[in-house]
Amino acid sequence: MSTSDPLCPTQSHAPLEKEFSSNSASGMGLHLQTVKNLQGPLEIESHRVQNLQAENQTLKQGKQQACEDRLCLSKENAHLLAEFEKKTQHCEDNTRFIYRLIEEKNRICEDRDREDAHFQDNMAVLIHEKEELGEKLEGLQASFLATLEFQLGRSKIGAHCWNWDDEFEDWTPVVILRGHPLPPIIFVDVDPRLLVDSEVTRKDIWSEYTVGFGNQISGRELNRYWGSRWYQWKGEGTVLSAWYVDFALEASRRRKLAHLIEELCAQKGSRWTPSKVLSYLDEEFPLSGTTKGLALRDFLNNLMTKGGFLNVKRKAKEYLHRKRAPL
């Protein structure tokens, strides 16, 4: 039996090798075809993997950005929370302050209600006292008028308007001087002799002082009962006050003439009488000019001065000396 190398092909193996070679070539081709067929899907899968990796990278970056955003949001949330707590505290402080204001308002309202009640009580007392005082004042005024009527006569009292003087608690008459403008407000009938266009003489002034014009109270009685208040009353309102200023000046002029006559008549040892004094004045100080009122006003103004008054008295002595006979 011949010995042969098992690794060396023998004749009997040749067909097998040829078949194997043919099968190997066919299998390789098939394999290559398979690989070739798989190459497209592999490339697609490779692209898909790359896309997934890119998406994964994008997701990682997004996740990182989201983490950073969340961190920022956390910080912002912490800041907002702190701000919210601060606002909440401020709101609570304001609420407490408002409550205090409400309490203070309620307290003030209660105090005001008590004060209003106290005020109403006081007003009621004051009104009652005012009514009582009004009744007393009416009684006092009526009593004064009754006294004046008894002392001076009802007709003289009725010839005047009257003003109540709160300071002296007395009635003050409104006096009308003959030839002088009437007061702006008058509530009694005026004697025609007292109208402003009446001509006034020194005799009229003396009669006004001693007897009274138009049934009015005389100047002497006015001075006795009211002093200077009857012509120095201020009046109410600008117009009436202005009238009283001029009225007081005119009354002072006429009083000066009356005082001159009284002084001459009161001189010790003289026999002056009012009528003789008036005659002396007419002789020594005649009223001249077309308007006697103006001339009389000039005489009275001169008499108001100290020098003018003394000059009239000095001339009165000379007048007596010239007469050489008792008056």
Q: For the whole model, what pTM was predicted?
A: 0.60
| All structural domains of the chain with their residue ranges | 43-151, 157-322
d(C-alpha 316, C-alpha 322), whole Å: 10
Mean pLDDT of 136-161: 92
Looking at residue 43, what is its pLDDT? 81
Mean pLDDT, rounded, for 133-156: 91
- pLDDT tens digits for range 253-274: 999 999 999 999 998 877 899 9
- Token pair 């309620």 is found at 106
pLDDT of 73 reads 81
Q: Which residues contact 113 (CB under 8 A, 6 or more apart)?
A: none
pLDDT of residue 291: 57
Instruction: With beta carbons less than 8 A apart as the criterion, state whether 282 and 292 touch.
Output: no
In sequence order, what DSSP letters do the residues of 50-103 get, joined into one string? HHHHHHHHHHHHHHHHHHHHHHHHHHHHHHHHHHHHHHHHHHHHHHHHHHHHHH
